[in-house]
Structure formats: C-alpha cells, structure tokens
Chains A and B, each alone.
Chain A
Amino acid sequence: MDVLKISRELITRMIAHALDEYPLEACGLLGGDTEEAKEVYPARNDAASARVYTLNPLDHLKADRAAEAAGHSIIGVYHSHTHSEAYPSQTDVEKAPDPDWHYLLVSLKRSHPVVRSYRIEAGKIAEEDVVEW
C-alpha cells in the first residue's frame, strides 16, 4: 500500500484552510519528496464553488517555484469536500493530472474534519495510509 508521510502541523494548516473557505471548496498543493510532504501551498479556487475547484494556475506556478527553491517538487494536491465524504468524486478521478501525485481530501461533512489520501491512476482510486511524523 502507498503511503503519505505528513506532519500534524501541515494537516492542521490544510484543515484550517478548508474551514476558512467553507462553504466553498478550498484547494492547494503539497510540496515534498515522493511520499513525504514537507510543505503545503494554499491556492485560490478559481471556481469559487461549494461543489468544484479549479486551482489558480498562477498560485500553482508560485508553489512550483517555492517547492523547487526548497529542493522539493510538487507531489500532490489537497482539496476540501464541504458536504461529502473524504473520497474522490468522479470529477476528481477524471481530472486527476498526475498518476504520481497524492490526492488528499479534507471532508467537513461531519462534526470533526476527516483527512484521507489517495492515489489515482488510469481512473482507479487506491487509498493510501496517511502517516504522521
């Protein structure tokens, strides 16, 4: 099974971002090395929607540069589901840009935020362990 290693601090920052944007979906990128996230880069959701997100491409460019300056690369994307479970939707699967990325979901459907991570390759979803370090 694949794994995503990520600190509690980065998870907290993603949840905080998701709560800040509620009821709209929040999105951002993960910087790091292969299976280890080292930074999160919150981005604007150009769709400004509670149902879909389009990650602002200029924010993507800035995150890409920042990750490279830190000796890392973009290894995944996170977004919130404000009213549904932390599981990739059909839209998430269809639009997944990179089979090597981690796809992290923050669900705000329940009383406590739920964070899960997936790999999406050739239309197939595989959940991976989120390991805090």
Chain B
Amino acid sequence: MAIEIRIPTVLRAAVGGQTVVKAEGETVGELIESLATEYPALAGQLVGADGGMHRFVNIYLNDDDVRYLSKLDTKVADGDVLSILPAVAGGSR
C-alpha cells in the first residue's frame, strides 16, 4: 500500500523539492527502502551501514516515535503518515 511520507527541508533537495512523497511497503523499513530506491540521494541518510536508523534522524508514524514501537519493523496501515525529522540538538558546551 502507498503511504504518505513527510520530508524535512534538509532532505527535500534529494526528492526533487517535494514536501510529501508516497512509497510502498508494509513496514517502516520497507517504506524507507522503497524511498531510497526511488530517490537514491536519500540512501544512507536515514539508515546506517548497520541497517539501523541513523541517530540524527527521528521517524514518526502518525504521533509515535518508531524507536518506541518496533523501529524499522513497525507495521504500517492505510492512511498512516510517516514523518521524517532531523534530530535537533546543541548547547553551550
């Protein structure tokens, strides 16, 4: 099934400037895999060499952080929205 994926500004150049794209898959991992196939510039930006999610990216399925669900194995359903957000951090130290 095709799921809507929201792309943050920093990654929009990799998807032709789009804010929202659609990808096919039954799990978050499959969606990301099909995204990376369609937009090769995204490959390596979301998933590390170890196959896990990059720590500087947060991925939400609707209102839930997939790290607290089943990570890349989290199942998706029709009407779900996946949001990709850059991790935002810093500080005076």
- List residues of chain A with CB under 8 Å of any chain B CB: 25, 27, 29, 47, 49-55, 57-58, 60-61, 64, 68, 73-75, 77, 79, 81-84, 88-89, 91-92, 95-101
Contact = CB atoms under 8 A, between A and B. Distances in A.
Interface string B59-93: 01001010000000000000000010111111111
Nearest to B65: A57
B14 to A, nearest CB: 13
B91 A49 contact: yes
Contact of A100 (B9, B85, B89, B90): B9
A74 B6 CA distance: 13
A123 to B, nearest CB: 14
Given A58-B65, A61-B83, A64-B83, A53 B89 contact: yes
9 contacts: A50-B92, A57-B87, A58-B60, A60-B58, A91-B92, A91-B93, A92-B91, A97-B87, A98-B86
Interface in B10-47: 10, 19
Interface of B: 6, 8-10, 19, 56, 58, 60, 63, 65, 83, 85-93
A89 B91 contact: yes
A57 B85 contact: yes
Nearest to A75: B9
A47 B88 CA distance: 11
A47 B85 contact: no
B88 A77 contact: yes
A60 B89 CA distance: 12
B90 A52 contact: yes
B92 A84 contact: yes
Contacts of B91: 25, 47, 49, 51-53, 79, 89, 91-92
Contacts of A75: 9
Contact of A51 (B58, B60, B93): B93
